[in-house]
Amino acid sequence: DTGVSQDPRHKITKRGQNVTFRCDPISEHNRLYWYRQTLGQGPEFLTYFQNEAQLEKSRLLSDRFSAERPKGSFSTLEIQRTEQGDSAMYLCASTSGGQGAGEQYFGPGTRLTVT
Partner 1 sequence: AQSVTQPDIHITVSEGASLELRCNYSYGATPYLFWYVQSPGQGLQLLLKYFSGDTLVQGIKGFEAEFKRSQSSFNLRKPSVHWSDAAEYFCAVGSNTGTASKLTFGTGTRLQVTL
User: Which positions lie near partner 1, rule CB under 8 A?
Assistant: 4, 31, 33, 35, 40-45, 48, 50, 55-56, 58, 91, 93, 95, 98-109, 111
**Which residue, 75, 83, 23, 24, is CA-closest to 49?**
75
DSSP 36-62: EE-TTS--EEEEEEETTEEEEE-TTS-
Task: Reduce the DSSP state of residue 84 to 3 states and report it.
Answer: helix
- Closest contact distance (angstroms) between CB of 79 and partner 1 is 19
Nearer to partner 1, 20 or 57 (CB): 57
Nearer to partner 1, 88 or 91 (CB): 91
